[in-house]
Amino acid sequence: MDKFIMDENNSDIITNLIELIEEFSAIIYKLENSETYKLLMNIIDKLDLIINLKSICVLENDFKIHIDKLKSKLPELLEAFENNDKILISDILKYDIKPLLERII
């Protein structure tokens, strides 16, 4: 079984990020652009933090695999952001990134 040790603070960060992704996906069409992208920037900042976490002790390789998959989604997310494609941004976050985060915690 794939296991790793995560301190409570890191788990809280990931849980908060999952909640932000759910919130973003639910309200993306209702928000003004500036509010939408403020929320998206918060999500991206937390993704960056998770990808660079140093305080997680990996007991199995599974965590690294999930982080590598997260990293591989970032260029696609950036391209969708540059193209102002809210649907694609929401889909990447909800269907690609969120499931990976859920596997980490």
Number of domains in the chain: 1
For 3, 37, 49, 92, the CA distances from 85, given in Å and listed in that order, are 36, 12, 24, 11
Residue type, 30: K
Note down the domain range covering 68. 4-104
pLDDT tens for 29-77 read 776 667 777 888 889 888 888 877 654 545 455 667 778 888 899 899 9
Residue type, 60: E
For 61, 67, 93, the CA distances from 75, given in Å and listed in that order, are 23, 14, 12
- pTM of the prediction? 0.71
